[in-house]
Amino acid sequence: MTTPSATAAVNQFVLTAQIVESSTMRYTPSGVPALNCMLEHASEALEASQTRQVKALLKSVSFGSVAERLAQQEIGSSWLFKGFLASPRGTRQLVFHIQEFTQS
């Protein structure tokens, strides 16, 4: 595995979270399964020498076999999610694109 150069762009996001909401499976115009869901994260982080409670509710989307697998998971179940962040066209809102997930 190579390390990105100082000028290479990197967009990797890893998060432990619970599935708190999941939409009905939909399909893209080309027939690819797509699933929207909401993830909730809670942890502690050290910031400026202080312990901080961190909570986040994150809009997410998955496609293909990842979407099919994610649709089978229970609401409230916890996972380690990996993917990238992007803004849908015409918005400034971030959406987490899940590329893989494993039991946390």
pTM for the whole structure: 0.88
- In this prediction, residue 38 carries a pLDDT of 98
- In this prediction, residue 2 carries a pLDDT of 59
Per the domain annotation, does 77 fall within a domain?
yes
pLDDT at 90 over 80: yes
Cβ atoms of 71 and 62 within 8 Å: the answer is no
Show the tokens assigned to 62: 């998955």
Backbone angles phi, psi at 15, to 5 degrees: -150, 135
Per the domain annotation, does 76 fall within a domain?
yes
Per the domain annotation, does 9 fall within a domain?
no
Average of per-residue pLDDT across 80-91 = 95
Q: Write out pLDDT tens, residues 14-55.
A: 999 999 999 999 999 999 999 999 999 999 999 999 999 999
Per the domain annotation, does 12 fall within a domain?
no
Per the domain annotation, does 3 fall within a domain?
no
Per the domain annotation, does 35 fall within a domain?
yes
Per the domain annotation, does 45 fall within a domain?
yes
Residue-range definition of the domain harbouring residue 28 = 17-103
Per the domain annotation, does 10 fall within a domain?
no
DSSP secondary structure, 48-84, as one string: TTEEEEEEEEEEEEEEHHHHHHHHTSPTT-EEEEEEE
- In this prediction, residue 6 carries a pLDDT of 64
Give the total number of structural domains in the chain: 1
- CATH at residue 76: 2.40.50.140
